[in-house]
C-alpha cells in the first residue's frame, strides 16, 4: 500500500452489490463479508502482526491497509472493513489500553468512581486523536482500486462504557451494570460524551473515504429490555440521526449505516426504526422471525453461527442454502452472527463465501 496524499479522486467502484443490498436495491447475488475477516485465522495476518504491538498496528495506516486487504486477496468478498479496534475511542478520551497476550485488551486505570469521569477529555478533536484511522481509510480506499466498498465502524456507547468500567472483558458486566443502577445520571453523562465523540469519529471516517458504517453494540446482551431502552437505544438512535445531519451539512455522501446489537432480539423492532439502513443479527434468531420483527424497510445482515465454519465444507454449503432460503436473497447481506475465530480454516471461510454467491445466484434464477 503506497500512501496517496489527496483523499479525493478515489478509484471508481467496480462491485457495488453490498451497497445496493444495504440500500434495499435489487442484486444479482447476495453480497457477503465476515466480521473479523482481517484476522488471526490467516497466516499472513499473524505474520504481518508478529513484530508489532496490537495498538501500534492500529496506529499504522500502512499496516491497517495491508491487513484490510489480505482477506480480499484470498476470497471474493463483497466488502472490506477497515482494520482497527473499537477501543481507540476510549483511548481518544485519554484512557490507556494495552493488549495483554492471552487475555485481550486491558485498561490500566478503569473508571471506578463517578469522579473518574473528570479525568476524561470532555472535548475530543477526533482528527488529532484518531487521524491515524482516517489516514488508514483513505490509503485503503485508494489501494482497493474500487474492487469493493470499504466499511468504517465504531463501538456503540454502552459497549465502550462497559469496557471502560470493567477494565477488560467480563462475563457478567457487573461493575458496568452497577453504574446503571447506582449512578444513572453519571452513566448518561458518560454515554452522551461517548455518543458525541462517536458521531464525529464516524463522520470523519466518511470524509476519509468510508462507504458504509457499522456500529457495534457488542454487549447489548448483558442488558435487559428496560436498561437497553434507557441506556443503549437512545444513543444508538442519536448517533444515526447526528451522523446523517452532519454528513448533509458537510456535503459528504450519505452512506448506509448498520447497527449490530448482539443478543438484543428483545429490541429488534426498535432497532429496525432506529435510523439505520441495515440491522445486523447474531446467530441465535431464526431468519423468518427476524424478518417478521423488522419489517420490509430495512436490510438484514447475518447470521450464520461462526462455529458452523468448523463443519465439513459440504455441510457449510447446506447451512448457507438454508440461511438464504430463510432470509430471501434480496434486502439481505450474508455474514456470520459474530466474528471469525482465530483457529478457523481459511478454506472453510472460502467455502462459506462461495456458497453464498452460488446459492443466491441459483435462487435468483429460479
- pLDDT tens for each residue of 67-108: 999 999 999 999 999 999 999 999 999 999 999 988 999 999
* Mean pLDDT along residues 174-198: 98
Strand order from edge to edge, sheet including 80-81:
80-81, 150-155, 212-217, 257-261, 278-280, 299-304, 332-336
Evaluate if residue 5 carries a pLDDT over 80. Answer: no
State the pLDDT at residue 101.
Answer: 86
Place of cell 448506509: 256
Q: Is 41 a catalytic residue?
A: no
Place of cell 434486502: 331
79-241: what CATH class? alpha beta
Q: State the span(s) of the chain assigned CATH 3.20.20.210.
A: 27-67+281-365, 79-241
State the pLDDT at residue 8.
Answer: 67
The enclosing H or E element of 301 equals strand 299-304
State the pLDDT at residue 177.
Answer: 98
Place of cell 496517496: 4
Q: Is 163 a catalytic residue?
A: yes
pLDDT tens-digit readout, 255-296: 999 999 999 999 999 999 999 999 999 999 999 999 999 999
Please identify which of the residues 16, 20, 36, 200 carries the catalytic annotation. 36
State the pLDDT at residue 234.
Answer: 98
Closest CA to 89 of 60, 121, 54, 137: 121
Please identify which of the residues 41, 163, 201, 235 carries the catalytic annotation. 163
27-67+281-365: what CATH class? alpha beta
Q: Is 20 a catalytic residue?
A: no
State the pLDDT at residue 6.
Answer: 44
Please identify which of the residues 23, 74, 85, 305 carries the catalytic annotation. 85
State the pLDDT at residue 51.
Answer: 82
* Mean pLDDT along residues 221-244: 98
Evaluate if residue 364 carries a pLDDT over 50. Answer: yes
State the pLDDT at residue 288.
Answer: 97
Neighbours of 211 (CB within 10 A): 25
Please identify which of the residues 49, 59, 147, 331 carries the catalytic annotation. 49
* Mean pLDDT along residues 331-353: 98
Please identify which of the residues 40, 189, 192, 361 carries the catalytic annotation. 40
Task: Name, in order, each residue with C-beta under 8 angstroms of 160's C-beta and a sequence gap of 6 or more.
Answer: 86, 87, 89, 90, 194, 198
pLDDT tens-digit readout, 295-331: 999 999 999 999 999 999 999 999 999 999 999 999 9
Evaluate if residue 7 carries a pLDDT over 70. Answer: no
Closest CA to 131 of 238, 285, 7: 7
Continuous H helices in the chain: 17-22, 43-49, 54-58, 61-74, 88-92, 126-143, 157-166, 174-182, 184-208, 225-231, 233-249, 268-272, 287-294, 313-327, 346-365
Instruction: Give the lowest-confidence range in 2-6, 10-14, 59-63, 163-167.
Output: 2-6
Nearest 5°: phi and psi at 186?
A: -65, -35
State the pLDDT at residue 83.
Answer: 98
Amino acid at each position: 500500500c503506497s500512501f496517496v496524499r489527496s483523499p479525493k479522486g478515489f478509484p471508481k467502484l467496480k462491485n457495488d452489490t453490498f451497497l445496493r443490498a444495504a440500500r434495499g436495491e435489487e442484486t444479482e447475488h447476495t453480497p457477503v463479508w465476515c466480521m473479523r475477516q482481517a484476522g488471526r485465522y490467516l497466516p499472513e495476518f499473524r505474520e504481518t502482526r508478529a513484530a508489532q504491538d496490537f495498538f501500534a498496528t492500529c496506529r499504522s495506516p500502512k499496516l491497517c491497509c495491508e491487513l484490510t486487504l489480505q482477506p480480499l486477496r484470498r476470497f471474493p468478498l463483497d466488502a472490506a472493513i477497515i482494520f482497527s479496534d473499537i477501543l481507540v475511542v476510549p483511548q481518544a478520551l485519554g484512557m490507556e489500553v494495552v493488549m495483554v497476550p492471552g487475555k485481550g485488551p486491558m485498561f490500566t486505570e478503569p473508571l471506578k468512581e463517578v469522579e473518574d469521569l473528570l479525568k476524561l477529555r470532555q472535548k475530543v478533536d477526533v482528527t488529532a486523536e484518531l487521524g491515524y484511522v482516517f489516514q488508514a481509510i483513505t490509503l485503503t480506499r485508494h489501494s482497493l482500486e474500487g474492487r469493493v466498498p470499504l466499511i468504517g465502524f465504531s463501538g456503540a456507547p454502552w459497549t465502550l462504557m462497559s469496557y471502560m468500567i470493567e477494565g477488560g472483558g467480563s462475563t457478567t458486566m457487573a461493575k458496568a451494570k452497577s453504574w446503571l443502577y447506582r449512578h444513572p445520571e453519571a452513566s448518561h453523562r458518560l454515554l452522551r460524551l461517548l455518543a458525541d465523540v462517536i458521531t464525529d469519529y464516524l463522520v470523519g471516517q466518511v470524509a476519509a473515504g468510508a462507504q458504509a458504517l457499522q456500529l457495534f453494540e457488542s454487549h447489548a446482551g448483558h442488558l435487559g429490555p428496560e436498561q437497553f431502552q434507557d441506556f443503549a437505544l437512545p444513543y444508538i438512535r442519536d448517533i444515526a440521526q447526528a451522523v446523517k445531519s452532519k454528513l448533509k451539512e458537510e456535503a459528504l455522501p450519505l452512506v448506509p449505516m448498520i447497527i449490530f446489537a448482539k443478543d438484543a432480539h428483545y429490541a429488534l423492532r426498535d432497532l429496525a426504526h432506529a435510523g439505520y439502513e441495515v440491522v445486523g443479527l447474531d446467530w441465535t434468531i431464526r431468519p423468518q422471525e427476524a424478518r417478521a420483527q423488522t419489517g420490509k424497510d430495512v436490510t438484514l445482515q447475518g447470521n450464520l453461527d461462526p462455529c458452523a465454519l468448523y463443519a465439513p465444507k459440504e455441510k457449510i454449503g447446506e447451512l448457507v442454502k438454508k440461511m438464504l432460503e430463510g432470509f430471501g436473497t434480496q434486502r439481505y447481506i450474508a455474514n456470520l452472527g459474530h466474528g471469525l475465530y482465530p483457529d478457523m480454516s481459511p478454506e472453510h471461510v472460502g467455502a462459506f463465501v462461495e456458497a453464498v454467491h452460488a446459492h443466491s445466484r441459483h435462487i435468483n434464477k429460479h
